[in-house]
């Protein structure tokens, strides 16, 4: 239990918060690349405030929910997600990108399984979905390329989260290769979307996670020896890869725009 608490704190405090920052930069940068001539400063300021609220309260909300903090925990969570209800004014299948992980996360919390594999993976996916949410709230046009990129981004971070869970020695119910199954099953439709809905150049963004998924097929769980340091190394490595992927996405988006 001690190792699990250490792992959750490392993952939540560093990984989730850094992903929020990357998402904000990606959303604003994508808006600048696509809209160019038109930017709503008011919208950007409001979304920046919302992002700051999420950033400041994320750790408290997460730890409060998983420890069954009661009514206050749910109210705090509601304060964080309520502003996103305005996204319902932009109806369409794209809404499934944030809604599916949100529903999965809430169901696990209600069942008292806030530290489960599903809760952690769906929570990470929910954070990753803030990219398209902030992009839309900033006034970005819902073009197919952004929707496809956002879907890939969410699946990519679900893959990362499941990989981390699979490496944990106390997670007997999941193995590292489970993450490989998730990514490799999603790969054909993602490749199709990247090729047809975005640009053939975007097939390059699938290369690194695909290579890592193939390697993970043969990986085993971490040993309990010096677990905290091992988990930190994995977390730092994944954050660097996530940042590199974000930069590649923005560069390619600029090239094709």
What is the rounded average pLDDT for all residues in the chain?
87
Q: What are the boundaries of each domain within the chain? A: 2-256
- Report pLDDT digits (tens) over 110-122: 888 878 899 889 9
The answer to whether the pTM exceeds 0.85 is: yes
Distance CA(114)–CA(68), nearest Å, equals 8
Phi and psi of 127, rounded to 5°?
-65, -45
pLDDT 10s digit of each residue in the chain, 257 long?
444 444 444 444 567 889 999 999 999 999 999 987 578 899 999 999 999 988 888 767 776 776 665 677 777 788 888 889 889 888 899 999 999 999 999 898 888 887 889 988 998 999 999 999 999 999 998 899 999 999 999 999 999 999 999 999 888 889 999 999 999 999 999 999 999 999 999 999 999 999 999 999 999 888 878 888 888 888 889 999 999 999 999 999 999 98
Short-list 204, 107, 208, CA closest to 159: 208
> 225 — alpha (psi -120 to 50), left (phi > 0) or beta?
beta
User: pLDDT per residue over 217-247, tens digit each?
Assistant: 999 888 878 888 888 888 889 999 999 999 9
Structure confidence at residue 5 (pLDDT):
42
* Category of 226 on φ-ψ map: left (φ > 0), alpha (ψ -120 to 50) or beta: left
């Amino acid at each position: 239990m001690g190792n699990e608490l250490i792992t959750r704190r490392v993952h939540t405090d560093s990984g989730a918060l850094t992903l929020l920052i990357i998402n904000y930069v990606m959303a604003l940068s994508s808006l600048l690349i696509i809209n160019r001539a038109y930017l709503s400063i008011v919208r950007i300021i409001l979304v920046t405030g919302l992002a700051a609220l999420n950033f400041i309260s994320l750790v408290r909300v997460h730890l409060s929910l998983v420890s069954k903090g009661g009514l206050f925990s749910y109210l705090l969570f509601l304060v964080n997600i309520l502003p996103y209800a305005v996204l319902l004014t932009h109806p369409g299948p794209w809404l499934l990108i944030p809604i599916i992980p949100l529903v999965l996360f809430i169901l696990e919390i209600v069942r008292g399984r806030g530290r489960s594999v599903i809760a952690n993976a769906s929570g990470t996916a929910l954070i990753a979905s803030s990219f398209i949410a902030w992009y839309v709230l900033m006034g970005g046009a819902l073009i197919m390329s952004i929707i496809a990129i956002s879907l890939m981004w969410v699946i990519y971070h679900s893959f990362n989260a499941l990989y981390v869970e699979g490496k944990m020695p106390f997670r007997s119910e999941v193995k590292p290769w489970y993450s490989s199954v998730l990514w490799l099953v999603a790969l054909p439709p993602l490749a199709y979307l990247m090729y047809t809905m975005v640009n053939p150049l975007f097939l390059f963004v699938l290369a690194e996670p695909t290579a890592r998924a193939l390697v993970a097929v043969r990986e085993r769980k971490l040993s309990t020896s010096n677990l905290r340091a091992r988990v930190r190394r994995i977390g730092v490595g994944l954050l660097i890869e996530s940042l590199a992927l974000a930069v590649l996405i923005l560069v390619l988006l600029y090239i094709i725009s």
